[in-house]
Amino acid sequence: MRFNHYRLLTLLFVCLLESVQAQIERVEPPYWWTGMKSSHLQLLVKGEGIGELNPQIDYQGISIQKVHKADSPNYLFIDLEIAPQAKPGSFEVKFKKKRRVAQEWTYELKERTRPKEQFEGFDASDVVYLITPDRFANGNPDNDIELALEEKTIDRAAPFARHGGDIQGIINSLDYLSEMGFTAIWPSPLLENNMPQWSYHGYAITDYYGVDARFGTLEDYIKLADEARKRGIQLIFDGVVNHCGSNHWWMKDLPFKNWVNFQQLDSVVVTNHKRTVNQDLYAADVDRAIMNGGWFVPTMPDLNQQNPYLATYLIQNNIWWIETLGLGGIRQDTYPYPYKGFLTDWTCQIMEEYPNFSIVGEEWSTNPLIVAYWQQGKINSDGYQSCLKSVMDFPLQEMLVKALTENDKDWGKGLVRLYESLANDFVYADPLNIMTFGDNHDMDRITTQLNGDYKLVAMAMAYLLTTRGIPQVYYGTEVMIDNDGHPGDHGIIRTDFPGGWTGDEVNAYTGDGLSPQQADVQAYLKALLNWRKDKEAIHFGKMKHFAPENGTYVYFRYTDDQIYLIALNKNEQRVELDARRFKEIIDGKKMGKNVMSGKAINIEKTIPIPPKAVMILEL
């Protein structure tokens, strides 16, 4: 009896030990859907000792195709096949050791309830409003500090500290954004950044499926998408597949030794940022390796997308967010840094699942040859092909600032910069799907770049909203936020939106405390944005421009039914342009209507342009 009792206790102890060792910490993606185009799903399972167990599923329409062990014994990767007849519901994944069930996990297949039109991507009919959430509006002060996370302070006076902006603040601002005329919002990442400091920006992700508690909850994020959609505003997700934060949960126990690049070295290898190695015929292998494999900064480990399990994880993660939020697009950060083959797989798999979706990639190069390389449809000499619909027009951004600040009397300077920049559009597969902008969260504010000249700020906005492409406006540009005296200081560039915090003396929502110039620019941009909304010629029409002369630049956007003349005049005096020069477009038309003032203007012989302004005429 004693012997049997001893054996029984031993068996109970062993079972308890196995259960503790195999405690499941997470399964990702946390849920999935029936009815997806791709029937394949790969689950990442994390738990101590889970690699020693065998998963089993007994659910009609769901089958395990293969189980993969990792280098770490604390991971399993399970390949599932979801048959078309699989029904929504929950089922148990049983993890067995020999014949005993050591652990169970309930997994859910949801029914796809979002209509297809919710996955229509942004295009040239939209205007995108870029937001740094921590600096935009504090809608819920109760979530300013999260004791479970490392950074536990709020200090609006410190440029690199957290200021308290959140998802609720964006939700509260949607009516303002809708009334202004914006049709899409792009918040920088809202996912968890559990770093000790300087992670307010969101690009050091520590949980790819978790919303940062200081921004809100997953339910808040879904509400933001739904409330924006009610107002005709699409939500763009800011993705980061190149790197994560050094405090990411998997960094303490990587699934595979090659999950992160240069992980085995004693010191961090930082990328050389030589992005041209992706196209350079003569680039050294070592430069390519450091560019694609080097860490973005010492606190942002570089992910190795050549690991097939990580590649699948990142692709599924983006699809999960598209489906969960009903997104209108993705902006992919640091686009040329990952491996090119992965970028093709990533973009093409997303676009195969959502054919009308939109993805824009950040390639911060002012060389249009480099930027054009990544766009879908581009025929490249090395045979590289992409499914990336849109690229960001950094070349045009640089030329816009030079065009408006240089002296037009100097050869090759001034407005001719814009003229020659657009002349490069022949290198792009689809110029209408390029994202144009005056500034963003990583560069000096456009107001600072234009030396605080409110007339030039208005001119820049008018140009961006009438030239080809998809315009993006950085939050606060409408009230001329600047970073004067702090060139290149990201903490100042990403300053608080006036009125986003209770007690702000200046309030951009109501206009209280704005200077006359700020109010003028805001009103002008609002009028222009709302006018632009239904103008097919401005969105998708053809473009013809005429070489700049004497500080003026004229171009036309037109279809068979609409013709718009846009004229930029940098001079301090009114200018009369000879209408005969534009005969091939004007074609005998004698009158035009100023779309801002509604005033009719005779253009039979001359076209009068006000001093230091942009005039838009409907012919």
Of 308, 300, 294, 243, the closest CA to residue 265 belongs to 294
Residue type, 379: I
CATH 2.60.40.10 intervals, the chain = 2-113
| Token output for 334 | 């640091």
Q: What whole-number distance in Å separates Cα of residue 471 and Cα of residue 146?
A: 36
Asked if residue 202 lies in contact with residue 22, where contact means CB atoms within 8 angstroms, the answer is no
Question: Measured over all CA atoms, what is the biggest interatomic distance in the chain, rounded to whole angstroms?
Answer: 115
Read off the pLDDT of residues 215-264 as tens digits, 9 standing for 90 and up. 999 999 999 999 999 999 999 999 999 999 999 999 999 999 999 999 88
pLDDT digit string, tens, across residues 75-113? 999 999 999 999 999 999 999 998 899 999 999 999 998
| Residue 583 in this model has a pLDDT that exceeds 50 | yes
Res. 117 pLDDT band, cuts 50 70 90: confident
Give the pLDDT mean for 133-147.
Answer: 97
Q: Of 220, 238, 345, 362, which is the active-site residue?
A: 362
pLDDT tens per residue across span 334-352: 999 999 999 999 999 999 9
Which class does domain 541-618 fall in? Answer: mainly beta
Q: How does pLDDT run across 317-333, given as a tens digit for each residue? A: 999 999 999 999 999 99
Average pLDDT over residues 382-408: 97
- pLDDT one-digit tens code per residue, 534-573: 999 999 999 999 999 999 999 999 999 999 999 999 999 9
Sign of the dihedral through C-alpha 510, 513, 516, 522: negative
The strand ranges marked E within 293-335 are: 329-332
**DSSP-assigned letters across all residues of 421-433:** HHGGGGG-S-GGG
- Quote the strand ranges of 405-488, DSSP E: 434-437, 470-474
Any idea what the Cα angle at residue 30 is, between residues 387 and 247, rounded to 5°?
A: 80
Instruction: Provide CATH 3.20.20.80 ranges for the chain.
Output: 117-256+305-537
Alpha carbons within 13 angstroms on the beta-carbon side of residue 518 total: 17
Q: What is the pLDDT of residue 266?
A: 80
Mean pLDDT of the chain: 95
Contacts of 574 (CB under 8 A, 6+ apart): 608, 609, 610, 611
Q: Which of 54, 49, 51 is nearest to 64 (CA)?
A: 54
Known catalytic membership, residue 333: yes
Q: Is the pLDDT at 272 greater than 50, yes or no?
A: yes
What percent of the chain is modeled with pLDDT above 90? 94
Torsion of CA 100, 101, 102, 106, to 10 degrees: 170
Q: pLDDT digits over 490-505, tens only?
A: 999 999 999 999 999 9
Residues of the chain with CATH 2.60.40.1180: 541-618
Average pLDDT of the residues in 371-384: 97
- Residue 222 to residue 322: CA distance in whole angstroms: 11
- CA 27-33-37 angle, 5° bins: 120
Q: Which of 323, 333, 408, 444 is catalytic?
A: 333
| Strand-pair category, 62-69 with 191-192 | unpaired
On the question of pLDDT at 10 being above 70, the answer is no
Residue among 211, 325, 334 nearest 271 (CA): 334
- Residue 99 confidence (pLDDT): 87
Candidates 74, 80, 61; CA nearest to 103 is 74
Q: Choose the CATH number for 117-256+305-537 among 3.30.360.10, 3.40.50.170, 1.20.1340.10, 3.20.20.80.
A: 3.20.20.80
pTM of the model: 0.95
Residue 302 appears among annotated catalytic residues: no
264: helix, strand or coil: coil
User: If pLDDT is split at 50, 70 and 90, which confidence band does 22 have?
Assistant: low
Q: Tell me the three state secondary structure of residue 310.
A: helix
The highest-level CATH class for domain 2-113 is: mainly beta
**pLDDT average, residue stretch 125-135:** 98
